[in-house]
Amino acid sequence: MNKTRILIIEDNDDIRESTAEILELAGYEVMQAENGKIGVEVATRNLPDLILCDIMMPELDGYGVLYLVNKNSQTAATPFIFLTAKAERLDMRKGMEMGADDYLTKPFDDVELLNAIESRLSKKEKLQQFYSQSLDRLTHLLGNTPGIAELHKMIAGRKVRTVKKKQVIYYDGDTVSGIYLVLSGKVKTTKLSEDGRELLTGIYSSDEYFGVPALLLNEPYTEAAEALEDSTICLLPKEMMEELLNKYPAVGKQFIQILSNNLIEKEEQLLQLAYHSVRKRMAEVLIRLCNREERSERSERGERLERTERSKVGTRQDREESSKKNNEHPDSLEQSTGLILKVSRDNLAAMAGMATETVSRILSDFKDEEIIERKGSQIVILDQLRLKNMKN
Amino acid sequence: MNKTRILIIEDNDDIRESTAEILELAGYEVMQAENGKIGVEVATRNLPDLILCDIMMPELDGYGVLYLVNKNSQTAATPFIFLTAKAERLDMRKGMEMGADDYLTKPFDDVELLNAIESRLSKKEKLQQFYSQSLDRLTHLLGNTPGIAELHKMIAGRKVRTVKKKQVIYYDGDTVSGIYLVLSGKVKTTKLSEDGRELLTGIYSSDEYFGVPALLLNEPYTEAAEALEDSTICLLPKEMMEELLNKYPAVGKQFIQILSNNLIEKEEQLLQLAYHSVRKRMAEVLIRLCNREERSERSERGERLERTERSKVGTRQDREESSKKNNEHPDSLEQSTGLILKVSRDNLAAMAGMATETVSRILSDFKDEEIIERKGSQIVILDQLRLKNMKN
DNA sequence: CGGATAGTTGAGGGGGGTCAATGGCAGTGG
DNA sequence: CCACTGCCATTGACCCCCCTCAACTATCCG
C-alpha cells in the first residue's frame, strides 16, 4: 500500500516545517504550501489524503481554502483539519460549520497532532463505508433509472460531514451552496418570527433531503437548519445538482415528488393551525411524529438482512432499536400501541405553534386520559386511534 | 372553405334523424351515431368540428363519451354540447364541470339548436385566438428552451374551458385528470376543516398553474378549486404532462420552481398563522393581495402593445382596467398608494384563518387609522408601508 | 452535589371566536 | 317608482381558550 499523503498549508515557516518533520517521522508523505493560494493548487494537482490548514494567512485564508477545496469534486471528500491560534476559538465554529472535520489549537504537541490525523483518517473510512450502505439502501428503494444512478454516484463522491446535536447547519438568510442529504441522525428546519419564537417547518431523518426549495430557486435560505441529534449529512453542491437536473428528467421528477409531498403536508398544517384547537393540534403533531417513526422503522427493517455488520458501528443506537422492537412485536400490526417518541417540549411547541407550557398541560391531560404515558422526558403513545379522532 | 362537420350521438332514431335534417338544411355536414361507443369511434376517425351528444344512452352514456373525447388529444378541443331531457337538469352541472361547452334541453326547436351551435363555434374561434395570445405571452415571458416550447404546443392544442364565477372546478378527493392553467380570470383553491370552515390555500390568475402537486404525486386532490370570477382555464391531461416531464428536463425545472415558490410561501404563512395576531395577519394578507395585483398588472402592461385588438372581446374587463390606470398613474412607482382590491370578507377570512366578523372589525380599525379606505365592498390600500410594519 | 437546564403546575388576563341584532345594497317583482 | 327580499357587511356583548408570568420540581451533567 502507498504511503498516506498529507498537505500542510501554513504561512509560518517554523511551524510548517516542524510539523512536516513530525509527520514524516510518523511515516506519512508530506507536501507543504506557504499560503492558501498555493495550497489549493497543490491540493487539486496532487490530491492528498488529508489537509492541515492554518486559518489566518495572507493571499487566501483558511476559510477560502476550505471553500475552494469543498467546491472541487475531486478534493471535496478529503479530510480537512484547521490549525488555529487559541484566540480564534470563536471563528472555529464557523470553520466547523463550513465543513472542516476537526481543528487543532496551536501550539499542539506531537501526540495531539498524530491522534487527530489518525482518528480522522480512520473515521473517514468508517463513514465512507457506512454511507455506502445507506447509498445502497437509497438505490434499492428508489429504483435505478439512469438519472438516479448518476445522482447516487455523485453522492458517493461527496464528503460526509458529522454534526453534533444542536449544531447549526445553516441560518436563515445564508447563501445556498447546495442541497443536504441526511445519512444518519435527525435534522430540523425552523423559521423565526420577529419576536423570537420559532416554528418547526420540517424534521428530516436518514435518506431525506433538506434545503431543497432554496437551492432550486437560487435564493438564500428562508429557514435555519439544526441537528436534533448527532448526525451525518452530506452536501451535494449546487453546480452538480443543476447539471443533473438539466440532464436527467428522472432526477427532476424525484424532487418534484418530494416538493409536492412537502407542499401538501404544509397545506394540511396550515388548515390545522388556522382552525383547530391546541388540543387537536397537539394530537396531530404526535401522529405526524408517529408516522415518521413507523416509516423509518419500516425502511430499516427492510434492510436488516443486508447489513448485519452494522452493529460494529452503532452501539447506543442499536440498544435503542432493540428496545423498540420489544414494544413493537406484541402486535405486529401498524396500529402499534407503545411507540416511543423522543422530543423536547420546546420542539413540540415549535411544531404545533403554541407555548411550551400549553404542551405540558395537554400532555398531562393526555396522560390522565391514558392516551399517552411518560417515561422520563420520552412519550409513549398508547392509543393512536383516540389521537386521530380527537375532537376539536 | 369546407363545410362545417357535426356529429350527433343519440340513441332515439326520431330525434337523431330530425335533428340531422335540420342541420343539413342549415348547410352543415352531418354524421350520426346511435350510441356512445359508435359515437366515440366516429369522432376519433372523422374528427368533427362539433359534437352533439345525448346523456342517457345504452352501451356508453354521454359522460363516458365526453370523458373519452376529452382524453384523446385529437378530439379534446372539439366543442361538445349535451342533449338532455328536462328531468336531468341536475346531472347537467356535472356535465358542464366535466368540460361540456353547452347543453340543450329536449325538446328543442330549430332556432335554439342552430343558435347554440353557431355561438359555440364562433366562441371557440374567439377563445382559440385569445388563448393563442396568452400563449405568446407565456412563451415570451419564459424563454424558449426545447421542452417549454413543447409544453406550449401542447397547451395550444387543448380545449379552453370557460367557468362561471363560483363554479367548482374540482372537489377535494376527486381523482386527478390533469393540471390546470388559468388563461383569464381568477381561481381559488380551498381546504375544508371538519367543522366546515374553509381555508384559502391559493389564488391563481392568468398564466398560473393550479392542481400541480396532486398531479405530480398521482393522488386525489387535497383541495377544492373554484372560480372567483368568470374565467377561462385549460386542462393539460396527465398523460401528456408525464410524457413531457420524462422527455424534457426544462419542463420539470419549470414546475420545480413553481412548487418551491409555493412551498416557501406556505411556510411563511405557517409562521404567520402560528405566532401573529389577527391584526398583523390581516395586514399580511392585504400585502399578499397587493403584490399579486401589482405583478399581474405589470405583466399586462408589458403586453399592451401586442394586443390592442383585445378590446373586441372584453368589455366589462376593460373598463375595470382603465379605472385602475387612473389610480395608478399619479405616482408611477411600485409604492403605489391607492391600489384597489376586490375581495369578499369571506375570502379574506378564509385567507387569514379567522372569523369574518373579525375581518370586518379590523378593516374598520384600519380605516379609522387611514391605512385603507372602503369603496363599497372594495378596499383601497392607502399606506402599504404601515401595513408592512404592522406591530404584532 | 450544586447548578443549570427542561418540564410541570397555578393564577390571571386579554385576544379573538361565537351569537345575535342591525345596517346597507342589489336584484326582483309589482 | 317603491316595497320586498335576501345577502353581505358591520357592530356590540359575552366569554372561553390559550398565552404570559411566575414559582416550583425533576433531570441531567460535570
User: What are B137-173's pLDDT values in tens digits?
Assistant: 555 555 556 666 666 666 666 667 777 788 788 889 8
Please state, in angstroms and as integers, the Cα–Cα distance from residue B137 to each residue in A32, B153, B187, following that order.
59, 13, 19
pLDDT at B330 over 80: no
Judge whether B243 lies within some domain. Answer: yes
Sorting pLDDT into bands at 50, 70 and 90, what band is B333? Answer: very low
Residue B288: burial class (beta carbons within 10 Å; 0-12, 13-18, 19+): middle
Chain-centroid distance of CA A195 in Å reads: 28
Percent of chain B clearing pLDDT 90 (strictly above): 37
Q: What is the pLDDT of residue B79?
A: 85
Binary contact (B216, A252; C-beta < 8 A): no
Binary contact (B267, A193; C-beta < 8 A): no
Residues 6+ apart with CB under 8 A from A43: A7, A51, A65, A69, A75, A78
More confident residue, B338 or A253: A253
Number of domains forming the structure of chain A: 3
Tell whether A284 and A363 lie within a shared domain: yes
Tell whether B9 and B108 lie within a shared domain: yes
The pair phi, psi for residue A84, each rounded to 5°, is -150, 145
Q: What is the pLDDT of residue B143?
A: 55
Tell whether A223 and A301 lie within a shared domain: no
3-class DSSP assignment, residue B50? strand
Residue of A203, A213, A204 lying closest to A176 (CA atoms): A213
pLDDT at B316 over 50: no
- Please give, chain by chain, protein residues whose CB is below 7 Å from any atom of strand C: A 344-346, 356-357, 359-361, 363-364, 374, 377; B 277-279, 353-355, 357-358, 376
Q: Which nucleotide is nearest to B356 (CA to C1')?
A: D9
Judge whether A30 lies within some domain. Answer: yes
Q: What is the pLDDT of residue B361?
A: 94
Please state, in angstroms and as integers, the Cα–Cα distance from residue B390 to each residue in A368, B169, B334, following that order.
42, 36, 19
Residue of B390, B376, B194 lying closest to B286 (CA atoms): B390
B389 touches chain A (CB under 8 A): no
Binary contact (B266, A268; C-beta < 8 A): no
Judge whether B47 lies within some domain. Answer: yes
| Whole-prediction pTM | 0.73
Binary contact (A269, B270; C-beta < 8 A): yes
Question: Please, which residues 350-379 of chain A have a Cβ atom closer than 8 Å to chain B?
Answer: 353-354
Binary contact (B260, A194; C-beta < 8 A): no
Judge whether B267 lies within some domain. Answer: no
* Contact assessment for residue A228 and residue A187, using Cβ atoms and an 8 Å cutoff: yes
Q: What is the pLDDT of residue A44?
A: 92
Residue B358 (CA) to nucleotide C15 (C1'), in angstroms, measures 11
Sorting pLDDT into bands at 50, 70 and 90, what band is B357? Answer: very high
Residues 6+ apart with CB under 8 A from A152: A135, A138, A139
Tell whether B195 and B293 lie within a shared domain: no
User: What are B85-125's pLDDT values in tens digits?
Assistant: 765 555 666 666 666 777 777 777 788 888 888 878 877 77
Q: What is the residue-averaged pLDDT of chain B?
A: 80
pLDDT at B273 over 90: yes
Mean pLDDT by 10 residues, chain A (392 residues): 87 91 92 93 92 87 85 77 70 65 77 83 69 58 62 65 82 87 90 91 92 91 91 83 85 90 95 95 95 76 42 37 40 56 94 95 94 87 91 86
Structural domain that includes position B305: 276-323+335-388
For residue A286, the domain's CATH number is 1.10.10.10
Question: Chain B partners of A260 at a C-beta cutoff of 8 Å?
Answer: 212-214, 216-217, 259
Please state, in angstroms and as integers, the Cα–Cα distance from residue B92 to each residue in B63, B147, B152, following that order.
10, 38, 31
More confident residue, B46 or B100: B46
Q: What is the pLDDT of residue B163?
A: 78
Query: From CA A296, how far away is CA B46, in angstroms rounded?
Result: 55
DSSP string, B77-136: TS-EEEEEEGGGHHHHHHHHHHT--EEEEES--HHHHHHHHHHHHHHHHHHHHHHHHHHH
Q: What is the pLDDT of residue B307?
A: 37
Nearest to B199 among A248, A271, A392 (CB): A271
Q: Measured between CA atoms, how close is A261 to chain B, in angstroms?
A: 7
Tell whether B91 and B182 lie within a shared domain: no
Residue A374 (CA) to nucleotide D27 (C1'), in angstroms, measures 14
Which nucleotides of strand C are protein-proximal, with an atom < 7 A from a CB?
6-11, 15-20, 25-26
More confident residue, A283 or B295: A283
The one-letter amino acid code at A99 reads G
Q: Which nucleotide is nearest to A345 (CA to C1')?
A: C7
Q: What is the pLDDT of residue A130?
A: 61
Q: What is the pLDDT of residue A319?
A: 38
Query: From CA B172, how far away is CA B191, in angstroms rounded?
Result: 7
Binary contact (B249, A253; C-beta < 8 A): no
Residue A274 (CA) to nucleotide D15 (C1'), in angstroms, measures 21
For residue A48, the domain's CATH number is 3.40.50.2300
For residue B236, the domain's CATH number is 2.60.120.10
pLDDT at B343 over 70: yes
Q: Measured between CA atoms, how close is A262 to chain B, in angstroms?
A: 7
Judge whether B285 lies within some domain. Answer: yes
Tell whether A114 and A25 lie within a shared domain: yes
Judge whether B59 lies within some domain. Answer: yes
Binary contact (A267, B266; C-beta < 8 A): yes
* Contact assessment for residue B169 and residue B187, using Cβ atoms and an 8 Å cutoff: yes
Tell whether A31 and A108 lie within a shared domain: yes
B278 touches chain A (CB under 8 A): no
The pair phi, psi for residue B9, each rounded to 5°, is -115, 115
Tell whether B77 and B162 lie within a shared domain: no
Longest dimension (CA), chain B: 73
Q: What's the average model confidence in pLDDT over B72-84?
A: 79
Least confident of A77-91, B223-237, B273-287: A77-91
Judge whether A135 lies within some domain. Answer: no
Tell whether A213 and A300 lie within a shared domain: no
Tell whether A287 and A317 lie within a shared domain: yes
Sorting pLDDT into bands at 50, 70 and 90, what band is B78? Answer: confident
Sorting pLDDT into bands at 50, 70 and 90, what band is B298? Answer: low
Q: What is the pLDDT of residue B233?
A: 85
Tell whether A17 and A89 lie within a shared domain: yes
Q: What is the pLDDT of residue B149?
A: 66
More confident residue, B335 or B112: B112
> How large is the angle between the packed helices B62-71 and B89-98, nearest 10 degrees?
10
Judge whether B195 lies within some domain. Answer: yes
CB atoms within 10 A of CB B178: 19
* Contact assessment for residue B61 and residue B92, using Cβ atoms and an 8 Å cutoff: no
Query: From CA A128, how far away is CA A392, in angstroms rounded?
Result: 49
B44 touches chain A (CB under 8 A): no
